[in-house]
Amino acid sequence: MRTLTALLAALALVATACGDDEPEQQTATPETLTILAHDSFANAVSEETFATFEAETGIEVEVLAGGDAGSVVNQAVLTTDNPIADVLFGIDDTFLSRALEEEIFVTHESEHIDTVPDTFRDPENRVTPIDYGDVCFNYDKAFFADSDVDVPDDLDDLATSEFAGLVTVEHPATSSPGLAFMLATIDRYGEDGWLDWWARMDEAGINIVSDWDTAYYAEFTRYGGDSPIVMSYASSPPAEVIFAEEPLEEAPTGVIEAGCYRQIEYAGVLSGSEHPQSAGELIDFMLSVEFQEGIPETWFVFPANQNAELPQTFVDHTIIPDDPTELDPDLIAENRDRWIDEWIAVMEG
């Protein structure tokens, strides 16, 4: 009898130990779910954004603005043991590996995941693709229409005296599009040549700023600055049309396809959330056609769900690059800090 009792006790201990490896299951439907997101997402959220989800589930959705994508990831990592949100949104491939290494997410396979291109997906379903966008040079059409200088179509064109002082890009250590473009130059010129290109750009007079807002709204000639070429997004031209004070038939800005980098943004259920099932349902809603079709004209990126239709403004005014750079997140994680340090040594040394 003692042997049987001991055996049952041992089996109970094994079952308990195995259970420790499983995600904690929620016991009740929460009143509120919190999304930790970058500022550009949070600032565009309205009362209508999650209204359908809230009506169908009875769960209120709050969005916590956490700065840029890098800051959001840092906050999630630092609060793993006491998470400040249930869902993280806005992590892209440039920061993904760090978050996965820190194990800040629990797995969730969305009911809509089959609508997403295989190349976007995490094989282990730790994060769910929600949108994508292409970081690209934008140019001011009016400037080039009145200039003897032609719009460049290759990165080598920019590294000449003809374009001295005409180009603004963001710093890769402080800006997501700045980092994305730096990665594009590494892909274009390789480890042996990318720093030489940046050295030539520095000599030609490239302008470096800390963030996208400064590049676009302070330095761009479209808004009174001195640079007719700025690092922005392929989706910026339709934004110009949508927000124009007077109706426009043509976007006033164009896209240079050379040097484009594709960013994919993900959402994930944060480890330690008390409501992982409901958090997963919220991510499912964000990947639904209803939510996805509102993405382009709200956040000016493209829906990850291939069944979502683009608004006509995007169809008419957006260029989707034929061959944007996409680097493996593991490669980025292994080299990002070194690459940034090398860039700083050339551009600020």
Q: What is the reported pLDDT for 335? A: 94
Type of residue found at 290: E
Q: What is the reported pLDDT for 23? A: 52
Q: How far apart are CA 153 and CA 274, in angstroms?
A: 51
Do the domains at 30-132+264-315 and 134-262+329-348 have one common CATH topology? yes
Concatenate the DSSP letters of all residues of 150-169 into one string: PPP-SHHHHSSGGGTT-EEE
Q: What is the reported pLDDT for 6? A: 43
To 10 degrees, what angle do helices 329-348 and 176-189 make? 90
Type of residue found at 35: I
Helix (H) or strand (E) holding 135: strand 128-140
CA 260 vs CA 269, 280, 310: distances in Å: 30, 32, 21
Find all residues with CB under 8 Å of 25, minimum gap 6, and list them. Answer: 276, 277
To 10 degrees, what angle do helices 194-204 and 329-348 make? 40
CA 32 vs CA 42, 89, 274: distances in Å: 16, 16, 11
Q: What is the reported pLDDT for 161? A: 81
Type of residue found at 69: A
User: Could you list the mean pLDDT of each consecutive 10-residue stretch along the chain, which spans 349 residues?
Assistant: 42 41 66 94 94 98 88 87 94 85 95 96 96 96 94 92 89 90 97 97 94 94 97 94 91 96 96 96 98 94 96 88 90 92 95
Q: What is the reported pLDDT for 24? A: 57
CATH assignment of 134-262+329-348, among 3.40.50.720, 3.50.50.60, 1.10.10.60, 3.40.190.10: 3.40.190.10
Question: Encoding tokens for residue 236?
Answer: 């910026």
Q: What is the reported pLDDT for 7? A: 39
Question: Encoding tokens for residue 26?
Answer: 């929620």
To 10 degrees, what angle do helices 194-204 and 176-189 make? 120
Bridge partner residues of 239 (DSSP): none
CATH code assigned to 30-132+264-315: 3.40.190.10
- At residue 102, the 3 state secondary structure works out as coil
The residue among 96, 112, 162 whose CA lies nearest residue 293 is 112
Q: Where are the domains of the chain?
A: 30-132+264-315, 134-262+329-348
Q: How, if at all, do strands 87-92 and 32-37 pair?
A: parallel
Secondary structure of 63-77 in the HEC alphabet? EEECCCHHHHHHHHH
Type of residue found at 256: I
Q: What is the reported pLDDT for 196? A: 97
